[in-house]
Structure 1
Amino acid sequence: MLIFFAFLSLVLAQRVAELTIARRNARWMTAQGAVEAGQAHYKYLVALHICFFAALMTEVLMLGRKPPQWWMAPAAAFVVAQWLRYWCMTSLGPFWNTRIFVLPGAKAVKRGPYRFFRHPNYLAVITELLCIPLLFGAWMTAAMVSVVNLYLLSVRIHVEEAALTEATDYAEVYGSSR
C-alpha cells in the first residue's frame, strides 16, 4: 500500500506542477493576444481527472485490488507516456496548456512528436489513464475512465482543430482532414 500512495502522490504532484506551467503559459498566451476556445467542455475534463483519482483510490482501497503479475507492462507504458508528455510540452513550449488557447496568426507547431501525428499529448493522457489503474489492478477504473476520456477527447479535438484552423496555418500544415 505504501507504493500505491507514494506513486499516487508523485502523479498528483506532477499534475499540480503541470497546472502551474499551464497557468504561466496561459498568462503568456493571453498577453500575446491569444483567445481561449472550448471552455464549455473543459470543466468535464477536470471532473474526469478528479473522478479518476477518486475511483482509483476507491477501487484499490475498498475492493482490495493488487498489482497483477504483469504489472511491468503498464509500468513500462506509463514511463513511455511520461516521456511522450514531456516531449510534447517541450516541443510546444509556451503554447502547451491544459486548456485550448489559440494565438491568431501563429504558426502551427510541427516539431518533436508533432512531426509524426497531430495530438501526441492526448495519446500520452490516454495511455496514463489506462495504465495507472492497471498497474494496481484497478481494471474497472481503467475501463470506465478510458471510455469517458475517449468521448471527451473526441469533443476536445474537434473544438481544438476548428479553433486552430480558423486562427492559424493549422490546415495548411496538417491538411484539412481531421
Structure 2
Amino acid sequence: MVSGSSNMDRLILTYCNISNDFLPKGLNFLSNVKDLNLSGNNFTTVHAWIKECHLLRNLKLDNCSHLQEIRGVPKKLETFSVKGCTSLKFLDLTVLPACTAESCSLKELIVDDCVYLQNITGLPQNLDLFSAKSCTALNFQSISILLNQIVDAIGKKKNTK
C-alpha cells in the first residue's frame, strides 16, 4: 500500500481478502475517497475509524459474509449497501449526526439478503430507497419503521398527483 493519502475519488477493492487489520491502517489512503467498494472481503467489523472518511458518499460492503458489526458510518454518506452480509445481525445508524427525523444525507440503504439481520437502529425516515429483501430475522420495530416508510411514500405519491 502506498503511504500517505490518496487523491482518488473512487476505490474498488472487491474480493481482495482484506481483513480487520488492513482497514484502520488504510485510513490515510482512504481519506479522500468518495466512492468505496470493499465487497466480498473477510473483515468482521467496520470500526468507528470509517467516520473519519469525511468525503465518503457511497459505501458498498456487499457479500462480506464475515461482517458482523458496523460501528460507524460517515456523516455525509448518501448510499450504503451491505447486500448478502449473512453474518450481520445489528446495524446502528444513530451515529449519523447529520440525521434528523426530517432530513438526512443518507438516501439509499440496501440490506438485501442479510438473513440474520435482526435490528436496524437510527433508520432515517426520509430515505429514497430502503431495500430489505430476504431479511427474515428483522425484529418488529425495524419492520414497523419499514412499513411506515412505505405508507408515507404512498401518501406522498397520491398528494403529487
Normalising by the smaller structure, the TM-score range is under 0.3
Higher strand share: 2
**Max Rg structure:** 1
Q: TM-score, normalised by structure 1?
A: 0.23
